Amino acid sequence: MSRPSVVVVGDALLDVDLVGAASRLAPDSPVPVVEHVAESARPGGAALAAALTAADQVDVTLVTALGDDPSSRRLRDVLPSRVCLVELPLRGELPRKVRVRAGEQSLARLDYGDDATVGQPDVALLEAAIETADAVLVSDYGRGVTAAVHELLAIAAANTAVVWDPHPKGSVPVADVATVTPNRLEAALFTGGASSRSLTDVAAHAKTLVGKWRAKSVCVTMGGDGALLSFGDDSPLVLPAPRVTCVDPCGAGDRFAGAFAAALASGALPSEATATAVAAASEFVRVGVARALRPAPTRHDAGDSGDAFQRARQVRDNGGVVVATGGCFDLLHAGHVETLRTARALGDFLVVCLNSDHSVSRLKGAGRPLVPQADRAQVLNALDCVDAVVVFDEDTPTEVLHKLRPHIWAKGGDYNGRTLPEASALATWGGQAVVLPYLKGRSTSALVSAAANRVRG
């Protein structure tokens, strides 16, 4: 079965980060001195939207303007291979945004290449790309690509779900788009009103824009407050965002619009797409753009231990953080799930080291486990927060940990100041053992005892 497809149309940029450490001020002026600077480049603008959307298990084609300048060549190199590229001619230098950062804090941004112009597109090539799409995402940064293909987009909107992420300097959305996704400030600007956090004001702006743009709906993104979806009536849908610590909001709008388009391409309703996009954008700002662009580890069948070791190695090689946890997980309960979710939040790839049936029997006594290891592994692998399961037969997972070499070993329990027995193993490769809080009163033994008492009663 083929995967849904999304065509992203818009202006690509090259984002460059100069990241260093700042611990002192310059002696000649009160500005931070950034030392030990490392440079990295990544897709920006519509190219970022395409790269992020490709992580949503859809096929992505990016229609954008590129030239033969150094920034265009570099963008081609950093664009993920899973994104198919259809190029319009670009005259001049591809716009480049250089951010000077100290850790996670941006100190300055330098912009280059603002005079580039977009040439005439190959209409037949673009028509072929757009006609086969399940959804089209217009990522307009006001630099000419959207204007160059505006007529094609007007035709596409009549037959395909088009999500339009607008820009104050960009093109007016074509009629009949599935949704337009301005942020709260843009929605006020497009209506000539004042920006406000009031839901009444945001709803009024969205309703006005549905009529002004002749759109099927308008979804206003509200940052940490979530999103408001309006079909032009007086009772819009509001989706609050989960409370997260924001690492870097750069690109959150691209993540939202891309997730919305991917959801529509997969057959979701606009309300469902809004919920999906709010969750995706919230997770994006929690981890930051650099971590979000890392290749996501693929999921495989339960118990494929050799594959788990290989995937953990790939995550490490890509700069990701491998987390491991362990236990019997006999009768999975809410305490287990909470611990697994917390462990997964510590990194990019969670491996569960699962005691085998023989190991559980030695540790827990006769009659345990209640659930065989194959079933326990299958249930764990069904959880979104678990990326892989490794079954071990020893009393402790030390041998497995030496093969996995995780950055973090996380165990749930009541912290009492004692060192975890696995800590010494983690220390040999620079890893860290940590204790996670557990939900009071949840345990497999308590469940077994309660069930037995009810049977006797």
Task: For residue range 335-375, list pLDDT tens digits in order.
Answer: 888 889 888 888 889 999 999 989 989 988 877 788 888 98
Are 60 and 54 contacting, i.e. CB atoms less than 8 angstroms apart? yes
Whether the predicted pLDDT of 277 surpasses 90: yes
For the segment 130-151, the average pLDDT, to the nearest whole number, is 94
> CA nearest 157: which of 261, 253, 58?
261
Which residue out of 254, 330, 348, 387 is catalytically annotated?
254
* Per-domain residue ranges of the chain: 5-291, 305-450
- Specify the pairing of strand 237-239 against strand 227-230: antiparallel
List, for residues 223-254, the tens digit of each pLDDT value: 989 999 999 999 999 999 888 777 778 889 99
Looking at domain 305-450, its CATH architecture is 3-Layer(aba) Sandwich (3.40)
List pLDDT tens digits, range 404-444: 999 999 988 755 656 788 888 999 999 998 988 765 545 55
Q: Cα angle vertex 103, ends 101, 106, to 5°?
A: 30
Tell me, what amino acid is at 196? S
Q: What percent of the chain has pLDDT over 70?
A: 91
pTM for the complete prediction? 0.74
| Cα distances (Å, whole numbers) of residue 418 to 323, 421, 433, 442 | 21, 9, 12, 22
122 tagged catalytic: no
**pLDDT above 50 (res 300):** no
Instruction: For residues 283-300, give the mean pLDDT.
Output: 70
Least confident of 27-41, 221-235, 383-397, 435-449: 435-449
Give me the pLDDT at residue 244, please. 79
User: What CATH code is assigned to 5-291?
Assistant: 3.40.1190.20
